[in-house]
């Protein structure tokens, strides 16, 4: 569906304005679609992002501030997300050995299991969501990387 039809706007000031609106609209479309997938597991997209960051640590602890730096949405409150995941038993928090003001965070087996379950569905979900060929997806990724400089 063309962006003009989706938001009922006949024309844009210029193609750059259209591109920004199109990116923002598409981002919202993707987040809403992912949210429905994660909701089955009691997770938000931001909590899922935290779990993926922790899994990427391969068993090594990471501080909350380091999680914040790696988040896709840096406006998220990493401390609050970590606390919610702790209450769900998906992560553990412990005092940082090198700096007592910091808290180390690790993913639990439960957190890893939930990620594995979600990822069984995400491949098909992502392909259905992004209805492009592999060549087009590679081109899109290259263009998005170029856009961010």
Summarize pLDDT for 58-77 with one digit per residue, the tens.
988 898 889 999 998 877 78
Interval 75-131: pLDDT, tens? 778 889 999 999 999 999 887 677 777 788 999 999 999 999 999 888 888 888 999
Report field, pTM of the whole predicted structure over 0.75: yes
On whether the CB atoms of residues 64 and 76 are closer than 8 A, the answer is: no
What CATH number was assigned to the domain covering residues 43-148? 1.10.10.10
Taking the C-alpha atoms of residue 52 and residue 115, their distance in angstroms, rounded to an integer, is 8
On whether the CB atoms of residues 104 and 94 are closer than 8 A, the answer is: yes
Query: Where do the H-state alpha helices sit in the chain?
Result: 3-7, 15-39, 45-55, 64-70, 78-87, 109-129, 134-148
> 3-class SS at 96?
coil
**Mean pLDDT for the stretch of residues 44-57:** 94
- Cα angle 50, 138, 49 (rounded to 5 degrees) comes to 5
Q: What is the pLDDT of residue 111?
A: 96
Residue 36 has pLDDT above 70, yes or no: yes
Q: What is the pLDDT of residue 29?
A: 92
Taking the C-alpha atoms of residue 68 and residue 88, their distance in angstroms, rounded to an integer, is 20
Residue 49 has pLDDT above 90, yes or no: yes
Q: What is the pLDDT of residue 102?
A: 77
Residue showing tokens 């391969």: 58
Taking the C-alpha atoms of residue 138 and residue 132, their distance in angstroms, rounded to an integer, is 10
Tally the residues of the chain: 149
């Amino acid at each position: 569906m063309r962006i003009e039809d989706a938001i009922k706007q006949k024309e844009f000031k210029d193609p750059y304005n259209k591109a920004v609106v199109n990116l923002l609209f598409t981002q919202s479309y993707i987040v809403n679609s992912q949210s429905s997938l994660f909701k089955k597991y009691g997770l938000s997209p931001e909590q899922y992002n935290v779990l993926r960051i922790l899994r990427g640590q391969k068993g090594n602890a990471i501080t909350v501030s380091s999680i914040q730096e790696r988040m896709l949405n840096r406006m998220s409150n990493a401390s609050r997300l970590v606390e919610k995941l702790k209450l769900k038993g998906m992560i553990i928090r412990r005092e940082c050995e090198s700096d007592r003001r910091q808290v180390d965070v690790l993913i639990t087996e439960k957190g890893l299991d939930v990620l594995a379950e979600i990822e069984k569905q995400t491949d098909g979900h992502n392909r259905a969501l992004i209805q492009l060929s592999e060549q087009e997806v590679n081109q899109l990724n290259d263009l998005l990387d170029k856009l961010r400089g």
